[in-house]
Amino acid sequence: MQKSNALPALILGGLLCLGLIMLGNTVGDKLIKMKAMERTVTVKGLAEKEVKANVAIWPIRFTEVDNDLKQLYQTVQVKTDKVVDFLKQQGFSEDEITIALPAINDRQAQGYVDPNVKYRYAANISISLYTDNVDLLLKTRTNMLSLAKDGIAISDQDYNSKAQFLFTELNKVKPEMIESATKNARQVAEKFAKDSNSKLGKIKNASQGQFSINDRDSNTPYVKKVRIVSTLTYYLND
């Protein structure tokens, strides 16, 4: 009676041992595969694109001096109107032109009067042009000398008088540039995989860098260079 009970127990124990062995082999295979999947390569992909600015901001400045304050205001008004008329003749609309109040400086009110200063009052006039017609603005800048015949000397040398050019249509070029950066990164990864006798696997993770927009050079600030660097990590397979 005891022998008959021992046989099924022995068979059951053998099956359990076989199951544990098979389970161990399966788990071992999975661990080996997981270990292999830990081999990765991290690369960076670069994309650059030259674009033309689509918005321009141009502060047009000039200065007037006089010893008679009333006369100074009249001169400022006349010359401001001439500058605005000039801009309209070039093709700009009234909505694109903004006139700031003139800044009047009384040199005698400063307490110290420089004997070399000929005029007591100085007025700084600023007219701002905000437009999306960049080509027209560039053309107009070359024609500004025509205002000199009216005694208007436009200042364009100091920092506050320089035109500012902007590119605000980044969303239009984003998809294309991200795709290009990703392809560039994959090419680098494939070269690494080939050199290391491996095969490139799937992407483990990816990080999109920030877009940067800078002038192409100091002579053409209306031409911008858009740049993006993406970071991708790929699995390596044998």
What is the phi/psi pair of residue 101, to 5°?
-65, 135
Q: How many CB atoms lie under 10 A from the CB of residue 134?
A: 17
Cα 183 to Cα 63, 130, 179, distances in angstroms = 54, 38, 6
- Closest to 124 in 3D by CA, of 186, 79, 84: 79
Ordered DSSP codes for 170-221: HHHHHHHHHHHHHHHHHHHHHHHHHHTT-EEEEEEEEEE---EEEES-TT-T
Cα 144 to Cα 30, 138, 147, distances in angstroms = 76, 11, 6
CB 205 within 8 A of CB 25: no
Residue identified by tokens 């070039």 is: 90
Residue identified by tokens 């909505």 is: 95
Q: Could you tell me how many residues make up the chain?
A: 238
| pLDDT tens for each residue of the chain, 238 residues long | 455 555 565 555 555 555 545 544 454 444 444 445 578 999 999 999 999 999 999 999 999 999 999 999 999 999 999 999 999 999 999 999 999 999 999 887 766 666 777 888 999 999 999 999 999 999 998 888 888 888 888 876 677 788 999 999 999 999 999 999 999 999 999 999 999 899 999 999 999 889 999 999 999 999 999 999 999 999 998 7
CATH topology (fold) of 55-166 = Alpha-Beta Plaits (3.30.70)
The model carries a pTM of: 0.76
CB 234 within 8 A of CB 189: yes
- Closest to 119 in 3D by CA, of 155, 68, 78: 68
Query: Which positions ≥6 away from 23 have C-beta within 8 Å?
Result: none
Query: CA angle at residue 38 from 34 to 39, to 5 degrees?
Result: 130
> What CATH number labels 39-53+167-238?
3.30.110.170
